[in-house]
Amino acid sequence: MTSRWLRRYTGTQNRGINPQGFHVSQLKFYILLVPLSVLMLLPIIYIFSSAFKPPDELFAYPPRFFVLNPTLKNFTDLFSRLSISGIPISRYLFNSILVTLVTVAASILVSSAAAYALSKKRFKLKQTLFAINTVALMFVPIAVNIPRFLVIERLQLLDTFWVHVLPVLAMPVGLFLLKQFIDGIPDEVIEAAQIDGASDWWIYWRIILPMIQPALATIAILTFQSAWNNADISTLYINNESLRTLAFYLGTLTATTATGAAAVAGQGIAAAAALIMFLPNLVIFIVLQRQVMSTMSHSGLK
Amino acid sequence: MRIRTAFRAWLYKEGSAYAFLSAYALLFIVFIAVPVAAAFLLSFTFFDAIQPPRFIGLGNYISLLTQDDTFMKYVLSNTIQFAVIVGPGGYALAFLLAWVLAQLPRLPRTIFALILYSPSMTAGVAMAVVWKTLFSGDQTGYLNSFLMSLGLLAEPIQWLQSPQYLMTIMIVVTLWSSMGIGFLAMLAGILDISPELYEAAAIDGLSSRWQEIFYITIPSMRPQMLFGAVMSLVGTFQAGAIGVTLSGSNPTPQYAGQLIVNHIEDYGFLRYEMGYAAAVSVVLLLMVLFFSRLATRLFATES
């Protein structure tokens, strides 16, 4: 019995990629990964822990990493607080949620429609357009901040809700991933539908979209993270405080180098706000991570 | 009449393709193509955002190369130092970690992947809260307090304000958060390689793990490796905000953490020399394109 057990878990045979179960040869990887994970997690644990710290623990000396007497005070303070211009936090939160939802939904529709055309339609400029988009993958938005500002100003989008959404919808990475994924759908499926008399829009809506759900989930995560964490748009294009987002507000909480009592109050609130910023990213990713992995492998990148 | 029928025929054949593309194309042109073109044009002008741009030819580029001491002395060397360590370093780290993760069964693999990816989710502002406190300059800062309790430090160090340490901290923080989408792509790529390839190689006499990685794993996942490389490149050059966020000022203390992106913001949005800033932007775009070409050469699939 023992010898069978031993053979099973300790044989010299390497279990290789994607093993079914535990094997002694994997121990070295755990020894490497566990300390590294702890290191990666420390700042995140810190966000969680600080958000629940009462003031005396936030400023304890020597500083304490973990919270001893957790309290929700930071959160109630955060929500009862008005910004300098008299906007309640809930307004920023509402803006963030609305902007993020609209951006995610719109970018999925816009990119998937374009990806469908680039993948399954025949037209002259197809190769060229895809090549342009691939070059744009390497595009560094900050490098063209200034002309972008001028364009947005010319279009009279400054200080509107749409400036949060429109500039980020064209996402070259998104189109790239979706197009590669749709390439994996056999043409026969579409031809069969066409013979049955299905229109283009019906094919797109009823066949393509349901079949590319993993890829859509990936795009949703990417867009969600960039929209939810985006403070730049509120900073650069918006002067009307009531249109700004939570990411921006958090920035003002941490940037102002207030002293004395204000700083004390600010730190706890900032920690609570940081947690509110972080959690949705985490939840969305956990829910959709399996789909992401299958986008990246199954014909995802070829 | 003939033109109209030709148009009809075209509309029938290609019209729907363009209809599907239209929304994306419009947004792409307005918010990506036009700004890039405009940056290119503006880079040949003097433009202060008040008066209309005045054409000055290559003037901006010439002064960038000959007169901008800050750029030559700090920004360029900082950017190169930062890019050389964070780019290939983060990339290699992502591949190695993805490879290690692929050797584990599903459940632990998923958990570790989530942990390693999670720093990428704390991008931007939330991060500032954490790192500023950890590296805080007085004795209540975690790092200072820790080093002092070990007796390694006599008095607290102004980590984020001292030119000596700022760049190192920027590199550490960026590496910490570099397991992004490229890392996920590589992990999926490794898992996707068919086991028969390894078996065949073992029969052919391939024995060591390193040989396996170099002769099978990497060649079989070129597309994912390329995608990861491009993503890490763009990430590296985009990471400019980190120094300003950490130190709380632009320019960073004694230009220690000044990267090209900060230089652009400094000239464009603080000094309103937008033509000049546009020239610097064009240089940045060209750098990214150059390195991407290089990466494509390395990983291009032979066809």
Task: Give the C-alpha separation, A226 to A178, whole Å.
Answer: 18
Q: Do B124 and A138 touch (CB under 8 A)?
A: no
Top pLDDT among B41 and A84 is at: B41
- Say if residue B280 is exposed, middle or buried (CB neighbours under 10 Å; 0-12, 13-18, 19+): buried
pLDDT digits (tens, 9 = 90+) for A51-74: 898 877 777 766 777 888 888 888
Q: Which residues of B touch A181 (CB under 8 A)?
A: none
Mean of pLDDT values over A155-166: 92
Which ipTM value was assigned to this complex? 0.84
The pTM (predicted TM-score) of the whole model is 0.84
Kindly tell me if the per-residue pLDDT of B157 is higher than 70: yes
**Average model confidence (pLDDT) across chain A:** 83
Mean of pLDDT values over A269-284: 87
pLDDT digits (tens, 9 = 90+) for B228-262: 888 888 888 877 777 887 877 778 888 888 888 88
| Helices B106-121, A27-51: crossing angle, 10 deg rounding | 40
For position A214, what pLDDT does the model report? 86
Task: Give the C-alpha separation, B184 to B98, whole Å.
Answer: 8
- Say if residue A169 is exposed, middle or buried (CB neighbours under 10 Å; 0-12, 13-18, 19+): buried
Kindly tell me if the per-residue pLDDT of A255 is higher than 70: no
Mean of pLDDT values over A164-190: 89
Kindly tell me if the per-residue pLDDT of A259 is higher than 50: no
Residue A149 tokens, joined = 């500002």
The continuous run of DSSP H or E covering B45 comes out as: strand B45-46
Per-residue pLDDT band at A12 (split at 50, 70, 90): very low
Match 């704390």 to its residue by tokens: B122
Kindly tell me if the per-residue pLDDT of A11 is higher than 60: no
Quickly list H helices, chain A.
Answer: 2-10, 27-51, 55-58, 73-80, 89-120, 126-136, 145-154, 162-169, 172-183, 187-195, 200-203, 209-211, 213-229, 232-237, 246-255, 260-297
∠ Cα B196 B197 B199 (to 5°): 60
List the single residue in A with minimal CA-CA distance to B182: A296
Per-residue pLDDT band at B285 (split at 50, 70, 90): confident
For position A39, what pLDDT does the model report? 86
Residue A132 tokens, joined = 């342009």
For position B126, what pLDDT does the model report? 66
| Residue in A17, A138, A173 closest to B103 by CB | A17
Per-residue pLDDT band at B107 (split at 50, 70, 90): confident
Per-residue pLDDT band at A102 (split at 50, 70, 90): very high
For position B180, what pLDDT does the model report? 81
| Residue in A118, A166, A251 closest to B125 by CB | A251
Count other C-beta atoms under 10 Å from residue B303's C-beta.
Answer: 3
Task: Give the C-alpha separation, A30 to B101, whole Å.
Answer: 9
For position B295, what pLDDT does the model report? 82
CA torsion, ordered A283, A289, A291, A296, to nearest 10 deg:
140
Kindly tell me if the per-residue pLDDT of A90 is higher than 90: no
For position A302, what pLDDT does the model report? 46
For position A208, what pLDDT does the model report? 92
Residue A130 tokens, joined = 């895809």
pLDDT digits (tens, 9 = 90+) for A226-254: 899 888 888 889 988 889 998 888 877 76
Q: Which residues of B touch A19 (CB under 8 A)?
A: 103-105
Q: Which residues of B touch A279 (CB under 8 A)?
A: none
| Residue in B127, B132, B188 closest to A293 by CB | B188
pLDDT digits (tens, 9 = 90+) for A124-150: 888 899 889 888 887 777 778 878 888
pLDDT digits (tens, 9 = 90+) for B16-53: 888 899 999 999 999 999 999 988 898 999 988 788 88
Residue A2 tokens, joined = 């023992």
For position A300, what pLDDT does the model report? 44
For position A114, what pLDDT does the model report? 95
| Residue in A29, A267, A277 closest to B126 by CB | A277
Match 């951006």 to its residue by tokens: A103
Q: Which residues of A touch B246 (CB under 8 A)?
A: none
Q: Do A151 and B34 touch (CB under 8 A)?
A: yes
